[in-house]
Amino acid sequence: MNSRIPVDHRVEASPWRPVRWLPGLLGAIWLIVGGANPAWSAPVSETEAGADTAMQEPIAPLPLASTEDPTKVALGERLFGDVRLSRDRSMSCLTCHHFDRGGADGLPVARRADGSLLSRNTPTIFNVGFNYFYNWDGSTETLEAHAERLMLNPEVMDADWSELLERLQADPAYASAFKAVYPDGLTKASVLDAVATYERSLVTPNSRFDHYLRGRREVLTEEERRGYRLFKSYGCVACHQGMNIGGNMFQKFGIFPYSPAPAHAGESDGRVDFGRFLITQVERDRHVFRVPSLRNVALTAPYFHNGRAATLESAVDTMARVQLGKTLTSEEIGLIVSFLRTLTGEYQGQPLTTPPPESR
């Protein structure tokens, strides 16, 4: 069985992303003309008739099941939870990507096992196979390259390949499992392949919104449908679109100025995160970030690369102001948030949830 999502499959699955530059272009056109499809720009009060036909939707439902090779997935799952991946054996991938926190950690910025902080918020690990770039600055374009970068990063796992391979080889269970699945056994490439294959298997289908997209219009309340129409007509969908409702383009964070104290300006420790500029050193990439996926977003507070927005309401308020130059009423924010809450899916047949605040 093929262990990678073929690129063609992803392209096919998202008619909005036939080539890499197209969504950016569409987004720009969208922002200029203020919504390309008259049905999407319809007033909130307008009845459903004709406004929501499946063919017109800028968002596609997630596939119902992962097609990844289960033996590789199982190996990757073990690696994902294995502290031997970090040099001092203090952290595994699960240290920051919790399955009961929407695949993230519930913290403003990530925290290492020793309590020290990283500079950015942990993005969800769910549905990462549908993103086109990884990390807030889009530093890598494949999950394999991302995993290697992260494992060697002295700030995170601080691993060294020869040491890590020796460690895993010394565990007979790993050595034989790798031998059984990969012709070359345990190598750097097979470790990265197993981790990436597992990550691609972390799909969360069956959100209420996906049922709606598949034609069961009645699963969304009137309020949620109004929220979705606002999401389209106000232009959120120009950036958050495709199968992952984001994850496929870069945009400046803060297109419109907003004061006082914008959540996007500066970090809590006073430093400035220049985002994509750190990767490209190109001036126009200053403050540019990868547009994040909004799937399961109700479970992954706090928000933004710096974790500066504590609630979904405040994230939506900031987005409208700084990305669209609009001030939303609290009713509009509430409607959009009610739509965003329909994006929570299931993992292995179980609805994703977070524990109630008092038990955290």
Point out which residues bind ligand HEC (CB under 6 A).
85, 91, 93, 95-97, 110, 112, 118, 120, 122-123, 125, 128, 131, 134-136, 143, 146-147, 150-151, 156-157, 195, 199, 231, 234-236, 238-240, 251, 253, 255, 289, 291-292, 294, 297, 300, 303-305, 315-316, 319-320, 323-324, 336
Give pairs for 353-357: CB < 8 Å, separation 24+.
353/100, 353/299, 354/100, 354/101, 354/102, 354/106, 354/299, 355/100
CA 308 to chain CA centroid, nearest Å: 17
Single-letter amino acid code for the residue at 259: S
C-beta of 325: minimal distance to ligand HEC in Å? 10
Question: For residues 185 and 334, which CB has a smaller minimum distance to ligand HEC in the complex?
Answer: 334
Nearer to ligand HEC, 234 or 258 (CB): 234
> CA-based angle 47:53:54, to the nearest 5?
145
Of 178 and 253, the one with the shorter C-beta distance to ligand HEC is 253
CA-nearest of 243, 233, 325, 239 to 290 is 239
Q: Minimum CB separation from ligand HEC for residue 332, in Å?
A: 9
Q: Is the dihedral of CA 51, 53, 56, 58 positive or negative?
A: positive
Closer residue to ligand HEC in complex, CB, 212/304: 304
Closest distance between ligand HEC and the C-beta of residue 228, in Å?
Answer: 11
Give which of 246, 236, 202 is closest to 339, Cα–Cα.
236
CB of 59 within 8 A of CB of 237?
yes
Give the span between the Cα atoms of 50 and 158, in whole angstroms.
Answer: 54
List Cβ neighbours of 73 (8 Å cut-off, separation of 6 or more): 66, 197, 198, 201
Residues in the chain: 360
Looking at beta carbons only, is 95 or 338 nearer to ligand HEC?
Answer: 95
Q: What is the rounded CA–CA span in Å between residue 136 and residue 123? A: 8
22 vs 215, beta carbon nearer ligand HEC: 22
Query: What are the tokens at 23?
Result: 């969504």
- Name which of 26 and 60 has its Cβ closer to ligand HEC: 26
* Cβ-based nearer residue to ligand HEC, 55 or 59: 59
Q: How far is the CB of 278 from ligand HEC (least distance, A)?
A: 9
Q: How far is the CB of 260 from ligand HEC (least distance, A)?
A: 19
The two tokens of residue 171 are 């565990």
Amino acid symbol at 32: I
Least distance between ligand HEC and beta carbon 313 (Å): 10
Q: How far is the CB of 341 from ligand HEC (least distance, A)?
A: 11
Whole-number Å distance between alpha carbons of 291 and 252: 9
Question: To the nearest whole angstrom, how small is the minimum distance from the Cβ of residue 202 to ligand HEC?
Answer: 9
Least Å distance, CB 130 to ligand HEC, is 9
Q: Residue type at 203? A: V
Residue 206 or 233 with smaller CB distance to ligand HEC: 233
Q: How far apart are CA 240 and CA 248, in angstroms?
A: 8
Structure tokens at 52: 């929501």
Measure CA 340 to chain center. Answer: 14
